[in-house]
Amino acid sequence: MFGRNRPHLAPEERARRARHVFRARPRRPLRVRQAVQFGTFAVILYVGWRFVQWVHGLEAGVVDGARSPGVEGFLPIASLISLRHWFETGVFHMAHPAGLVILCLVLLTALLLKKAFCSWLCPVGTASEYLARLSHKVFRRRLKLPNWLDWPLQSLKYLVLLFFANAIFVLMSREQVAQFLDLPYNKVSDIKMLYFFTDPSPTTLWVLGSLAVLSFVVPYFWCRYLCPYGALLGPLSWLSPLKIVRSPSACTNCRQCASVCPSFLAVDLTKTVNSVECTGCLECVAACPENEALQLAPVTPWGTRLGRRGLRPAVFAVLVVVLFYGGIQTARLTGRWRSEVDQRELVERVRRGLEGPEYDHVGRPASRPAP
């Protein structure tokens, strides 16, 4: 599906590749991507700190604090419901507009710049990458599940995506979508998310701990097997005009590209990487010792490369940053960023507590209207 880039190999060639790819020495990540990752991580930490201060203000009865809209990026389900509402009604719902903006920018990034969000911007992707690098140093090899187990497990993230897509786009009526967006549950969903992580249940701690351990033992476990966001972005990234292109005439078959690919793609054996698992991290391009053997370049839908020169990693980094953060700034300037939920209402709800039946779960109607 969507070009897996897994060519048939003779057993002896497969064994030789495995020795090289899985036992290669860990390589320092592409510096420009590392800078974008750390910069984004710092922004997220700052946004999170501002949000915590704002919630503390609500708890103290302060109604003039500045809400931190960026945390709405961690509400993808509510954002997807809001996206459906926008498509069906033309109304950009203003309970959590920043979440919808971020979702649209992530989708647009995948469509134009592959799954760059996963490898350049996503905080979970960044954490997974450095857990994988730590695992490489400890075990002195890149660990990968055998294909008979790896391939079926990759389908899990699509099943998770299908579950949510069915719930949002099939089971929910148009009226239920509109009702959900105005529910007290949705209005305070970002606050409930904060409480979920600051006061986790034993089950939550067990699940998060298990995912961390699994991501250490099996690199990118969450991203590769379970992340529905990645499943959504994969097909869109397949439509991206930018592809990793290999020139067989310039390639020296050193296999450095395959040895650093976090998705274990056979970059050294294909002319154009069409796999939905390619995240556009450009580690393969940076590892290639030949200047023109491996490049990121625009390719037509029928496979014809456009132009002789590829995009440099620094240029690609600029495109990622400008598209994502430029889109956020545009939303700020056009009034599509800050929530219009009355903070006095939020103060009262927080004061009364968010444990009532109206806040129990998605889809449950409010037991009584807000005062």
Q: Which positions ≥6 away from 335 have C-beta within 8 Å?
A: none
What is the full DSSP assignment across 70-110?
Answer: GGGGG-HHHHHHHHHHHHHH----SSSHHHHHHHHHHHHHH
* CB of 96 closer than 8 Å to CB of 190: yes
- Give residue 359's pLDDT: 79
- Give residue 12's pLDDT: 53
Domains of the chain: 31-235+318-359 (no CATH), 241-312 (3.30.70.20)
pLDDT in tens, the chain (371 residues): 454 454 555 555 554 454 444 444 455 568 999 999 999 999 999 999 999 999 999 999 988 777 899 999 999 999 999 999 999 999 999 999 999 999 999 999 999 999 999 999 999 999 999 999 999 889 888 888 999 999 999 999 999 999 999 999 999 999 999 999 999 999 999 999 999 999 999 999 999 999 999 999 999 999 999 999 999 999 999 999 999 999 999 999 999 999 999 999 999 999 999 999 999 999 999 999 988 899 999 998 877 888 788 899 999 999 999 999 999 999 999 999 999 999 999 999 999 988 888 877 654 443 333 43
- Can you read off the two tokens belonging to residue 12? 């002896």
Strands 242-246 and 272-273, by their bridges, are antiparallel
The residue type at 134: L
Give dist(CA 287, CA 28) in Å, integer: 10
> Is-above-0.75 flag for pTM?
yes
CA torsion angle for 127, 132, 133, 134 (degrees, to 10)?
90
- Give residue 304's pLDDT: 81
- Can you read off the two tokens belonging to residue 215? 């991501």
